[in-house]
C-alpha cells in the first residue's frame, strides 16, 4: 500500500465517522424538537395590566403528561390572589389548590394555564424579597421524564409600566363614544 492509498483510507474512515456523527446529531435534534418543555414564569396580564399572573406553558412541540410541581417559597406561605397595588388590606390568602398543587394531567404543545396571582403591592407584602422556585417534572409520550426549573418573582415588576393592551384602549374609546351618544338622546 502506498502513502496515497493510506491517505485515502484515513480520509474515508474520517468521512464515515463524520457522517455517523452528523446522523446521530440530526436524530437527537429532531427528537428534541418534538419534545415537550414546560416553563413557569410571571407576567402582567393582557387584559388587566396591574395583575401579575403565574403562567405555566408548554413551549415545546410535544405533549407533556403527568405534570407535577414542587414549590419552594423560602419559608413563607405561597400567596394567592394577593390583590393590592400599595399593599394588602386583608391578611394574605394562602395558595393551596390549583395546578401548582394538584398538577396537570396533560398539556398540549404551545398551550398554557394562567393564574391571577395578585398585584405588585400585595405580592411584595406577602413575599418580601423572596423568590418562589418551581421545579417541574413531566413525561413525554414515550415515557421519558424531564425536569425544568422556574422562578416566580415580583421584584422585577417594581417601577415598570403595565402598559394597556391596544384592544383595551380601543374598547374604552368605543365605550366613551357609546356613552356620549346615549347622553345626547
Residue 171 lies in a domain: no
Q: Residue 93 corresponds to which cell in the numbers above?
A: 390568602
Q: Residue 183 corresponds to which cell in the numbers above?
A: 347622553
Tell me how far apart the 2 most distant CA atoms of the chain are, in Å: 104
DSSP assignments along 87-134, one per residue? --SSPPEE--SSHHHH-EEEE-TT-EEEEEEEEHHHHHHHHTT--EEE
Residue 145 lies in a domain: yes
User: Can you give the residue range of the structural domain that contains 23?
Assistant: 1-33
Q: Are residues 48 and 136 in the same domain?
A: yes
Residue 176 lies in a domain: no
Q: Are residues 71 and 129 in the same domain?
A: yes
Of 152, 153, 68, 158, give the one whose Cα is nearest residue 107. 68
The label of the residue with cell 390549583 reads: 98
Residue 129 has pLDDT above 80, yes or no: yes
Q: 75 in helix, strand or coil? A: coil
Q: Are residues 29 and 65 in the same domain?
A: no
| Of 30 and 75, more confident | 75
Name the domain count of the chain: 2
pLDDT of residue 164: 58
Q: Are residues 76 and 99 in the same domain?
A: yes
CB count in 10 Å sphere of residue 116: 15
pTM to 2 decimal places = 0.73
Residue 172 lies in a domain: no
For the stretch 45-96, pLDDT in tens is: 877 878 999 999 999 999 999 999 999 998 888 999 998 888 887 887 899 9
Bridge-based pairing state of the strands 112-119 and 51-58: antiparallel
Residue 166 lies in a domain: no
Amino acid at each position: 500500500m502506498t502513502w496515497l492509498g493510506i491517505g485515502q483510507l484515513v480520509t474515508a474512515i474520517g468521512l464515515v465517522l463524520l457522517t455517523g456523527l452528523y446522523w446521530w446529531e440530526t436524530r437527537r435534534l429532531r427528537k428534541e424538537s418534538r419534545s415537550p418543555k414546560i416553563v413557569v414564569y410571571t407576567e402582567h396580564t393582557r387584559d388587566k395590566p396591574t395583575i401579575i399572573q403565574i403562567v405555566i406553558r408548554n413551549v415545546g412541540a410535544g405533549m407533556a403528561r403527568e405534570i407535577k410541581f414542587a414549590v419552594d417559597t423560602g419559608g413563607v406561605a405561597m400567596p394567592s390572589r394577593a390583590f393590592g397595588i400599595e399593599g394588602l388590606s386583608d391578611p394574605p390568602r394562602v395558595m393551596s389548590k390549583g395546578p401548582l398543587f394538584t398538577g396537570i394531567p396533560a398539556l398540549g404543545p404551545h398551550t398554557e394555564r394562567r393564574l391571577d396571582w395578585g398585584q405588585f403591592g400585595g405580592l411584595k407584602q406577602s413575599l418580601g424579597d423572596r423568590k418562589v422556585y418551581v421545579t417541574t417534572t413531566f413525561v413525554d409520550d414515550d415515557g421519558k421524564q424531564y425536569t425544568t426549573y422556574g422562578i416566580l418573582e415580583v421584584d422585577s415588576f417594581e417601577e415598570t409600566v403595565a402598559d394597556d393592551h391596544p384592544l383595551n384602549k380601543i374598547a374604552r374609546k368605543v365605550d366613551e363614544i357609546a356613552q356620549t351618544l346615549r347622553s345626547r338622546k
